[in-house]
Structure 1
Amino acid sequence: MILNKIIKHFGLQTQSISDVADSHSSTVYKVLLTNGETVYIKIPFNILKFHREIKAYSILEGRIAVPRLLDVWEGDDETIGALLLSELEGQPLKPKLSTLLAYETGVYHASMHAIQPPQGMDLTNIDNEFPNWTAFLDRMFYGFAEDTKKVIDPFLYEAAIQKYVEMKNDLPAPDGPSFIHMDFRPANILVKDERVMGAIDFESVRFGATEMDFSKIHRDFLSLDPSLYQAYQDGYRSIRPLIDLDQVLIFYRFTDAFNSIGWCQRRGIDQNRDFYEQNLGILKEELNVYK
């Protein structure tokens, strides 16, 4: 079994092992060691995500709160490889009405966005997409379009393509280059006692424009109450200037839903049915289509 091989390579003495829920891409295990310590084993979805996350930890360490990368296994003919990570104290952010947590989330997110491409560092596995941001948006959108087309109504698909072209032309100048998480949502934000303890899951990160990084946290947390949205913005602005979110969120909420539908098709609609239905609903809402 692959997991046993990884445990042996890392030299772990285990009490128990359990799957980590809500890991949409990679396979993650929570491991309780015989000495009482908890660590995590992460098996990335592909080799690019494997190397990208390793590079991300080298950039983020000492800058913002993240797990420590304890060890790396480069894999073999059967497995891409695995990361051994320390436990980051706390529980995933719950969608409850806490303005203090919203403020803290804004502070943390802005601290991440304040990180720019380090001078002299090889960024082979974490691309700086900012200089060609419009081309990156096109590559993301049209890259998922063929998958999305297979699982939505043709009328909805054509309306989405048209809306993308129209809205992209009205976007303001991008804000960056900044370190962007690309999956900054409550499940990846750990909190304890009304404090943000840090974030996890850096396999999709880029250097790019900050505005792409707000749609998921807004969808799953900030949109629940105006006071959360305001507190988050106040926290963010305590660290760095904030773009006009109301101007860009509509575009990025729409494209995120469209791309996520394509992602579900790639990874399997049946396994990701709830996520697919959620994003289909958002897409219809953004396009004012309810058929």
Structure 2
Amino acid sequence: MGLISITATARGWCDVGELTAALSALPQGGTVTIMIHGYRFAPGISGHDPHGHILSQTPDPGCWKAISWPRHLHLHRAEGGLGIGFGWNARGSLGAVAARAFDMGHILADLIAQIRTRRPDLAINLIAHSLGARVALAALHGLRAGDVARLVLLSGAEYRSRARAAMASPAGRSARVLNVASGENALFDLIFRLFVPAPRVTDWALSAGIADVAGWSDLFIDRAASRAALQRLGIHIRAPQGKICHWSSYLRPGLFRLYRAVFDPNTPDILDRLDHALAQETRKSAEKRPRWGLSPL
């Protein structure tokens, strides 16, 4: 359908008048997909502007990490719905940016509330990488039930206790979340923990998964059982090519096919089917392990 760029600042968000026209052009019951970047991006800064990078239809081909989220989500197609690139200043020390992410969550919530006021028939989906996951989850606290349909969190830089609190909000209880994690992100999880203190010593980042929250699904893309489960759904992704990568949750070929299905109103049961397939493959893997449990997944 199309793409518009929105920039959030401490004063709020601005879209130079494109949002109203874009919302009016959407069909009844259409979708809006809001894409949220993570650390080190900032709108208007050359080489770091997300609207010319992953949130662009035509990102800089000279950067190996610059793949177009809008194009891979098929937002350029008529059936793709409206895409919104949500840019915010994520430059500075990690601790300062992590604190700023909460404020950006409030601004994101205001944007979503405005969209819902103008077009309550639309389904709003969020996809966020790294500290963008903190922004997305923080937004849930300021929203009503039904304001967000689906969230896809990619290598999320947030703690499980805060995610649980967000999911306990009215908007969180009515949303479905896919948490995409990998052991490839372990180094970055450690850096996050060192510079952004956990609320409690026993708290862990989202890469540890959350098994006890309704509406929450974990997908560990470095595990063979997860790849087998995706194959059951007709989605093929390759095994990790290295031990360290913060961007594999959107660079790994095949994953965007899953994300498109998560956001597609024609596949409302995709996360239930994924959970079922994961449970079957995990059980099968456990049955194959030696009794001492040293066989890797």
**TM, length-normalised to structure 1:** 0.31
Larger Rg: 1
**TM, length-normalised to structure 2:** 0.31
Q: Which has the higher helix share?
A: 1
Flag the structure with more relative contact order, 1 or 2, with Cα contacts below 8 A and sequence separation at least 6: 1
